[in-house]
Amino acid sequence: MVERRFRRRQLLLLAIPVVVLAFVVSFRALDPKNLCPAPSAAPQSELALMPAGLSLEGIGTVTDVRKDERYFRVKAFTTKPLDHVGVLIQEAVIAAGYRPAGIDTEGTETQVFFLRGSFAGGQATVRWAGCDGRSDIDLVLLDRNAVPSR
């Protein structure tokens, strides 16, 4: 009987560190920082598709650029505060030849609007990504050289 108690104590003393270790490992696995893969910069071939004069340098890292017949679509990420990013994006897009139409910041999202002539020229949306203080930037601009659809 004494031997049984001794074995139970040994098992209990062995089980405690195992449970603690399992808890620590699972806690680290569920860490929000681990849920967000590190984004990679877009290749130079994609960056070349961006509108002339547009640069997000100093704002964030461009991760994807798409161009179709009428639009440029740019995805990026930043670690700067949302309200500050809106102003920086506005300045960058103005440098590319678009006119500002307004900024709307609401908590976890900022939207920046642009004009091309007297028409809507594009929009940037910056949203908190939930990862290490990172925000995602989605920028869509009308190609200034695109032929208007009828």
pLDDT in tens, the chain (150 residues): 656 665 666 655 565 655 555 555 555 545 555 567 778 999 999 999 999 999 999 999 999 999 998 999 999 999 998 889 999 999 999 999 999 999 998 888 999 999 988 888 999 999 988 887 899 999 999 998 776 665
> HSE (CB half, 13 Å, CA atoms) of 106?
4
What are the C-alpha distances in Å from 149 to residues 39, 69, 97, 144, 146?
35, 11, 21, 13, 9
Give the domain ranges of the chain. 2-30, 39-142
Whole-number pLDDT of residue 34: 54
- The pLDDT score that the predictor gives to residue 146 is 73
The confidence score (pLDDT) of residue 51 equals 92
Q: How much is the pLDDT for 125?
A: 97
